[in-house]
Amino acid sequence: MHVALILANLFPAEERVNPFYFAGRAAVYGLLVFWGMKFIATPMETNYVGGHFMHLINLPFH
């Protein structure tokens, strides 16, 4: 009972969702999952992550 109340307050659900917003969110989520799986499945020896633009964002911090 308390868990359901906490979850309802932390993650409110919209009553009606615009189909275009839903499709956009689903597409972005799908792209992020695909991209993440590509990072996970690529062997470390290829240095795929090191050559990616996301690595360049992290370079000034180390």
Q: What is the pLDDT along the chain (62 residues), one digit of tens a residue?
A: 689 899 888 988 888 989 999 999 999 999 999 988 988 888 888 877 777 777 777 667 76
Model pLDDT, residue 56: 72
pTM attached to this predicted model: 0.61
Model pLDDT, residue 46: 83
Model pLDDT, residue 13: 82
The answer to whether the CB of 55 falls within 8 A of the CB of 49 is: yes
**Residue 49 neighbours by CB under 8 Å, 6+ apart:** 39, 42, 55
